[in-house]
């Protein structure tokens, strides 16, 4: 996931530097009022206090409004420089503070920051409207757009004019005053609702954690995992992750605890208390539909996808339906295997065999439930693939994975090197900073990682920047990755699952996209691509996690340094296609749920949330009894707060691109510097400067094909005889 989109929603296109000299209330004490003196303007976290954000946001907004007025009021006719470049340079202080503020509310929040967020969200939405619904600005952009072929612009500049024109039109600049006013009201309401959703979900997820008083209930988990869950009062806490299924379900032998954990997860935001999100999401869906209608679209998804590579909801839904059929069929086969395993084991609780024929008979009646899936999948994996996580984890020690895996792969492909910087201030002691050096040894960027789970951090993993690369502003990228890995107990090494390792490669792929950005204008920096393209570089980077030379470099037993046996590596590779019916089905379900919520026409009543959700899954033929969606509607933060509204399909859309691009590498000798350089030059450095479909076609020599995806997931239909 990348979160640039989040900030983008607040200030799309209104990015960055060079303020006019209108700061009357500037206080020297506020660290956001001047560019940071640190390397690449890294945030001076040692000088930033909670009380600095609101004054800086307010001052930044005030300055930007002055700048907008100055651009609009100029007597001189519109030129590229006095209008487009001036807009690109506006809002320097606002961008600087919002980049850090959005990072902190996502990864290290507290009551004070949440309060500022609540107060400022509607004002920031209004600020965005003040920019994009400013008639004088739009007239200037329009006139440039009409003359764009006669302005002597280069390709990036011409595309920037078109981009601004689209941004204005899509924001409602062509509407009459009454519609504009209604749009502003809806935007403000949406900003308040998304903040409210985020706050409720964070609280509901925290409150949903299970407190276990009896250690024996945790049977199946390792001593180290149990130690990491220990509380000072002698109890243990099973915290919820953002997804429906919880990793602990794979290990917990106690079926009743698995059920309780599953219910805590799926109902975290449906208790009818102050953390209940149902009213919020129903209203969000309705207001988005109304906004789309005002802007001339039949529904919100049609509006959103008009600006994406997919172009229409139908094309996205078709992609999902095409891959849903083999995925659902495979999920039923997987469920059958597990059902059979549970029965033939003759026991529902491992470690306790049936004691009588009648008890055995009752086991035969055992029915697999959604909370059993992870557990029996793990049993099948151990039995059929002879692989279990506890066997793997000693080989995936975080620091080694980082240096000898993630960094090593970036060195092989792109020639990068890394040096840890202990002198750059961080916002939390677990955060680490690295300076990144290019192939010629020159300094390229700064990269931060914040890997461990905390109660004040949103779930999942993401990438974003503190500072964007831009030739115009003379800035280099200051990038960060956030994840939610379990922090080991003091004195223990951080041992990762294969899925965690994959997450590190994924988020670092976004980071590479940001660091290699080589654009002039901040509007196009790094990950400022269509949403259904943005997961392509990150998912592409996952492919190197199991590259033979990369695994040999990082997968070593932390106790002995012994390399991971080839046999174990082969097993991990084989298991990559394991359980993919389930994995793909839960993702497709989530993507289609997103489409269902965002294809309602304005004025439709969606009714009760759970019923709407169930009906949508039926309608799209993806309802599978034991496979619930990866996120249910009430805690689907991607679509309600994360900038992925009508955009969750983008992960699968991008997966087509990344598998197809990886196939290109395989066809041409794989992990070579030449191949890496070409990918950097044609994809990773281009940001949003050209149409994504054109960029991809230029790299691949043709349009993307889904063949490689189905093959990688082990779902390629065998040809009929």
CA dihedral sign, ordered 15, 517, 418, 534:
positive
Nearer to Zn ion, 225 or 308 (CB): 308
In the complex, least distance from residue 534 CB atom to Zn ion, rounded to whole angstroms? 7
x/- letters, 12..41, toward Zn ion (CB under 5 A): ------------------------------
d(CA 282, CA 530): 26
CA angle, residues 489, 109, 539, in degrees to nearest 5: 75
Local structure of residue 448 (DSSP, 8 states): E
Total site size for Zn ion, rule CB under 5 A = 3
In the complex, least distance from residue 453 CB atom to Zn ion, rounded to whole angstroms? 18
Which range of residues in 1-9, 50-58, 130-138, 271-279 is near Zn ion by CB under 5 A?
A: 1-9
* Exposure string for 660-673, b = 16+ CB within 10 A, e = fewer: bbbbbbeeeebbee
Q: Closest Cα to residue 186, out of 281, 276, 294, 279?
A: 294
Q: What are phi and psi of 140, to 5 degrees?
A: -65, -45
In the complex, least distance from residue 506 CB atom to Zn ion, rounded to whole angstroms? 6
In the complex, least distance from residue 510 CB atom to Zn ion, rounded to whole angstroms? 6
In the complex, least distance from residue 661 CB atom to Zn ion, rounded to whole angstroms? 15
Nearer to Zn ion, 244 or 538 (CB): 538
Nearer to Zn ion, 19 or 102 (CB): 102
Q: Is 240 in the site for Zn ion (CB under 5 A)?
A: no
Nearer to Zn ion, 169 or 402 (CB): 402
Which range of residues in 30-38, 130-138, 530-538, 621-629 is near Zn ion by CB under 5 A?
A: 530-538
Q: Give the C-alpha distances (Å, rounded to integers) separating 89 from 14, 22, 134, 694.
A: 8, 15, 17, 28
Which range of residues in 12-20, 217-225, 390-398, 528-536 is near Zn ion by CB under 5 A?
A: 528-536
- Please tell me the total number of residues recorded for the chain in this structure: 721
Nearer to Zn ion, 159 or 498 (CB): 498
Q: With 0-12 CB in 10 A as exposed, 13-18 as middle and 19+ as buried, what is 294?
A: middle
In the complex, least distance from residue 157 CB atom to Zn ion, rounded to whole angstroms? 29
Three-state SS at 703: coil
d(CA 209, CA 305): 37
Nearer to Zn ion, 3 or 330 (CB): 3
In the complex, least distance from residue 61 CB atom to Zn ion, rounded to whole angstroms? 30
Which range of residues in 232-240, 313-321, 531-539, 681-689 is near Zn ion by CB under 5 A?
A: 531-539
Q: Is 187 in the site for Zn ion (CB under 5 A)?
A: no
Nearer to Zn ion, 236 or 536 (CB): 536
In the complex, least distance from residue 644 CB atom to Zn ion, rounded to whole angstroms? 10
Which range of residues in 103-111, 121-129, 340-348, 535-543 is near Zn ion by CB under 5 A?
A: 535-543
Which range of residues in 72-80, 234-242, 305-313, 527-535 is near Zn ion by CB under 5 A?
A: 527-535
Local structure of residue 239 (DSSP, 8 states): P
Nearer to Zn ion, 93 or 583 (CB): 583
DSSP 25-73: S--TT-TTSS--SSGGG---TTT--GGGHHHHHHHHHHHHHHHHHHHHH
Question: According to CB under 5 A, which residues from 51 to 110 bind Zn ion?
Answer: none
Q: Give the C-alpha distances (Å, rounded to integers) separating 90 from 41, 54, 64, 82, 486.
A: 17, 19, 6, 12, 41
Beta bridge partners of 563: 556
Q: Is 482 in the site for Zn ion (CB under 5 A)?
A: no
**What's the CA dihedral at 695, 482, 190, 139 to 10 degrees?**
-40
Beta bridge partners of 371: none
In the complex, least distance from residue 651 CB atom to Zn ion, rounded to whole angstroms? 8
Q: Is 141 in the site for Zn ion (CB under 5 A)?
A: no
Q: Is 1 in the site for Zn ion (CB under 5 A)?
A: yes
Judge whether 262 and 370 are in contact, CB under 8 Å: yes
Nearer to Zn ion, 157 or 538 (CB): 538
507 among known catalytic residues: yes
DSSP 260-308: HHHHHHHTTT-SSSTT--HHHHHHHHHHHHHHHHHTT-SSHHHHHHTTS
Which range of residues in 352-360, 538-546, 634-642, 658-666 is near Zn ion by CB under 5 A?
A: 538-546
Contacts of 74 (CB under 8 A, 6+ apart): 82
Q: Is 538 in the site for Zn ion (CB under 5 A)?
A: yes
Catalytic residue among 88, 270, 507, 542: 507
Q: What are phi and psi of 467, to 5 degrees?
A: -140, 135
Which are the catalytic amino acids? 507
The residues binding Zn ion (CB under 5 A) are: 1, 535, 538
């Amino acid at each position: 996931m990348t979160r640039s989109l989040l900030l983008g929603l607040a200030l799309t296109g209104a990015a960055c530097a060079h303020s006019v000299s209108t700061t009357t209330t500037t206080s020297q004490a506020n660290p956001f009022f001047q560019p940071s003196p640190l390397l690449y303007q890294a945030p001076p976290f040692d000088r930033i206090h909670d009380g600095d954000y609101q004054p800086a946001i307010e001052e930044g907004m005030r300055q930007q409004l002055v700048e907008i007025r100055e651009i609009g009021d100029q007597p001189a006719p519109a030129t590229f420089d006095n209008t487009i470049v001036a807009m690109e340079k506006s809002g320097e202080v606002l961008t600087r503070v919002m980049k850090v503020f959005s990072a902190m509310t996502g990864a290290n929040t507290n009551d004070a920051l949440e309060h500022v967020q609540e107060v400022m969200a509607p004002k920031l939405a209004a600020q965005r409207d003040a920019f994009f619904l400013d008639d004088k600005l739009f007239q200037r952009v329009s006139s440039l757009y009409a003359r764009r072929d006669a302005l002597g612009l280069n390709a990036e500049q011409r595309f920037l004019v078109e981009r601004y024109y689209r941004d204005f039109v899509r924001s409602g600049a062509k509407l009459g005053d009454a519609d504009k006013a209604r749009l502003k009201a809806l935007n403000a309401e949406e900003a308040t609702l998304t903040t409210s959703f985020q706050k409720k979900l964070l609280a509901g997820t925290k409150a949903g954690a299970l407190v276990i008083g009896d250690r024996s209930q945790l049977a199946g988990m390792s001593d180290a995992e149990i130690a990491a869950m220990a509380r000072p009062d002698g109890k243990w806490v099973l915290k919820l992750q953002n997804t429906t299924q919880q990793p602990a379900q794979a290990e917990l032998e106690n079926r009743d605890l698995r059920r309780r954990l599953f219910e805590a997860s799926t109902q975290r935001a449906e208790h009818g208390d102050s953390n209940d999100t149902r009213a919020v999401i129903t209203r969000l869906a309705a207001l988005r539909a109304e906004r789309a209608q005002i802007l001339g679209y039949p529904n919100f998804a049609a509006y959103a996808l008009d600006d994406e590579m997919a172009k229409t909801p139908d094309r996205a839904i078709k992609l999902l339906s095409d891959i849903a059929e083999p995925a659902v069929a495979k999920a039923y086969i997987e469920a059958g295997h597990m059902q059979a395993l549970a029965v033939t084991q003759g026991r529902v609780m491992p470690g306790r065999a049936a004691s009588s024929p009648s008890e055995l008979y009752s086991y035969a009646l055992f029915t697999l439930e959604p909370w059993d899936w992870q557990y029996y999948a793990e049993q099948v994996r151990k039995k059929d693939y002879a692989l279990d996580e506890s066997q793997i984890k000693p080989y995936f020690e975080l620091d080694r994975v980082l240096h000898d895996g993630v960094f090593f792969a970036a060195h092989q492909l792109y020639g990068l090197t890394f040096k840890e910087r202990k002198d750059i201030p961080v916002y939390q002691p677990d955060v680490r900073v690295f300076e990144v050096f290019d192939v010629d040894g020159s300094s390229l960027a700064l990269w931060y990682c914040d890997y461990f789970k905390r109660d004040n951090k949103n779930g999942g993993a993401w990438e974003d920047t503190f500072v964007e690369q831009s030739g115009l502003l003379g800035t280099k990228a200051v990038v960060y990755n956030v994840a939610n890995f379990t922090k080991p107990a003091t004195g223990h090494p951080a041992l990762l699952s294969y899925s965690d390792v994959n997450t590190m490669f994924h988020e670092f792929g976004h980071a590479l996209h940001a660091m290699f950005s080589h654009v002039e204008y901040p509007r196009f920096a790094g990950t400022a691509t269509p949403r259904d393209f943005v997961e392509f570089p990150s998912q592409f980077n996952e492919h190197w996690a199991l590259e033979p030379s990369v695994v040999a470099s990082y997968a070593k037993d932390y106790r002995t340094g012994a390399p991971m046996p080839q046999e174990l590596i082969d097993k991990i590779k084989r298991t990559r296609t394991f359980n993919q019916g389930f994995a793909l089905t839960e993702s497709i379900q989530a993507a289609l749920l997103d489409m269902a919520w965002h294809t309602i026409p304005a004025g439709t009543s969606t009714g009760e949330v759970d019923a709407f959700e169930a009906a949508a899954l039926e309608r799209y033929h993806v309802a599978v009894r034991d496979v619930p969606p990866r996120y249910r509607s009430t805690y689907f933060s991607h679509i309600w707060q994360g900038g992925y509204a009508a955009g969750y399909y983008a992960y699968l859309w991008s997966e087509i691109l990344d598998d197809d691009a990886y196939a290109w590498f395989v066809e041409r000798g794989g992990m070579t510097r030449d191949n890496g350089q070409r990918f950097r030059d044609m994809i990773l450095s281009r940001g949003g400067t050209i149409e994504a479909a054109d960029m991809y076609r230029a790299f691949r020599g043709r349009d993307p094909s889904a063949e490689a995806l189905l093959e990688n997931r082990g779902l390629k239909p065998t040809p009929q005889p």
